[in-house]
Structure 1
Amino acid sequence: MDRRRFIIGLPLALSACGATEVWAPDDVVSRAIYREPGRKYLTLYTMKKVRDNSGAHTALLINANQRVMFDPAGSWSQDVMPERNDVLFGVSPRLEEYYVSFHARKSFYVIGQNFEVPPEVAEQAFNLSLQAGPVAQANCARVTSKLLRRLPGFGSIGQTWFPNSLQRDFGQLPNVVTQEYREDDDDDKSIAAAQIRTALGAGQ
């Protein structure tokens, strides 16, 4: 996969109609936990179409007492990050890169917006993410924006169904660091998924 990265600048419960409940066992989750010392932060990911820059998906990386990805109605089926209703556990930086790489291809690119938060806000985001799923299709931005609006300091985030609107509001928070990710992979996501599974199986 030819990856290019460009730095641009430094109750929640929804009706689960149409969503599948997934709940990994405690022991599986415990073995997968990844902790990153130091600052606590949220990274909002927005998947966008190259053709017209329209938003296609929203996800939220949460670095709290552990590192998880809230991936509402996500499409990456994998075996290395246990899931509990759209919350993926064990998200190391390497697995985060694979997550982004899976979504970035010829017709889609990914925007990542990183925002540092106090530890207690990160913990609140983590706990809210566990209550939010499973999320029905086309509700990713709606549920993520609702989650963020419940956090201290995020009152400027508007409730929205649209990933681009959420990206815009998140980008107006102070000192957000934004990155853009593009790849030349085939539009068939199953090819990227197979390549990632092979790399993970080889311990890469």
Structure 2
Amino acid sequence: MFRVLIACLLAAVVAGCTGSNRPQADQSQIVSRSYRDPGPSTLTLYTMINTRTGSGAHTSLMISGSERVIFDPAGSFRADVVPIRDDVLYGITPAVERAYRSSHARETHYARIQTIEVTPQQAEIALQLAKQSGPVAGAYCANSTARILQQVPGFEQIDVTFYPVKLSDQFGQIPGVVTSEYRENDDADLQKGLAANNAQLNQLEAAASN
């Protein structure tokens, strides 16, 4: 009984990144939306944190190298203009990145954003590992992200954990990491944020095509 109780408590703590059935984009969709940021290669760790308890709800990793993607393991983000294969979001333009962080930041949660400049080689290794990860099971968002990071040269010291904040704390200790927070005070319902940002991205798409 004690073991069952501990397992239930663990599930409750790490709940927030839950498994989902995402549409699978084909290669032509991915290629057509591919985006490469003109700046240096970077890794950006997102940690979604409960504003009341300080506990982590979700972990994801933006990889900016030969293309910019977000590894969003067992995540909830959807947008019509963003191709998804397994748990990798493609075509992460500045507008999409803003929509991603805005969708998660709300009355009940804020986003801790930690960025470090890396070599193109490091970014490419992370990119390939993310693409090879396949769909991630629910509650494994921090675990799967940590496993990718520790395989990137220079990040071997990252310990695998199920807890988003613990992973964030480790990442923050790496020299060169720049940390910021993004907050919004809109509705606590994640789905409303996703819908609003999807509509905004569609409007931008329509305006750009006119």
Letter in 1 for 2:63: I
Give the alignment of 1:35-46 within 5 angstroms.
Answer: 35-46=36-47
Distance 1:140 1:85 in 2: 13
> 1:98-119 CA distances to partner (integer Å, 9 max, x unpaired)?
1000000001000000011110
- Higher helix fraction: Structure 1 or Structure 2? 2
Give, in angstroms, the shift of residue 173 of structure 1.
Answer: 0.5
TM-score, normalised with respect to structure 2: 0.85
CA contact (8 A) 1:44 1:60 kept: yes
> 1:58-88 CA distances to partner (integer Å, 9 max, x unpaired)?
0000001000000000012221110111000
Of the two structures, which has the highest relative contact order with CA contacts closer than 8 Å and spacing of 6 or more?
1
Distance 2:77 2:60 in 1: 12
SS of residue matched to 1:121? helix
Q: 2:30 is matched with which residue?
A: 29
Letter in 1 for 2:157: S
TM-score, normalised with respect to structure 1: 0.88
Q: 1:123 is matched with which residue?
A: 124
Give, in angstroms, the shift of residue 197 of structure 1.
Answer: 2.1
CA contact (8 A) 1:21 1:134 kept: no
Distance 1:159 1:125 in 2: 16
Instruction: Report the number of matched residues.
Output: 187
CA contact (8 A) 1:72 1:135 kept: yes
Distance 1:198 1:161 in 2: 33
CA contact (8 A) 2:80 2:202 kept: no
Give the alignment of 1:2-151 within 5 angstroms.
Answer: 20=21, 22-151=23-152
Distance 2:50 2:143 in 1: 19
Q: CA RMSD in A?
A: 1.3
SS of residue matched to 2:183? strand
SS of residue matched to 2:129? helix
> 1:118-164 CA distances to partner (integer Å, 9 max, x unpaired)?
10010000000011120010000000000100010102211111101
Distance 2:42 2:202 in 1: 29
Distance 2:146 2:130 in 1: 11
CA contact (8 A) 1:41 1:122 kept: yes
Distance 1:33 1:51 in 2: 37
1:170 equivalent in alignment to 2:171: yes
Distance 2:24 2:62 in 1: 19
Distance 2:22 2:46 in 1: 23
Letter in 2 for 1:114: T
- The alignment-based identity, stated in percent, is 45
Give, in angstroms, the shift of residue 36 of structure 1.
Answer: 1.1
Unpaired segments ≥5 residues, structure 2 = 1-18, 206-210
Give, in angstroms, the shift of residue 37 of structure 1.
Answer: 2.0
Which structure has the larger Rg?
2
Distance 2:29 2:199 in 1: 21
SS of residue matched to 1:91? coil
Distance 2:91 2:74 in 1: 18
Distance 1:127 1:113 in 2: 21
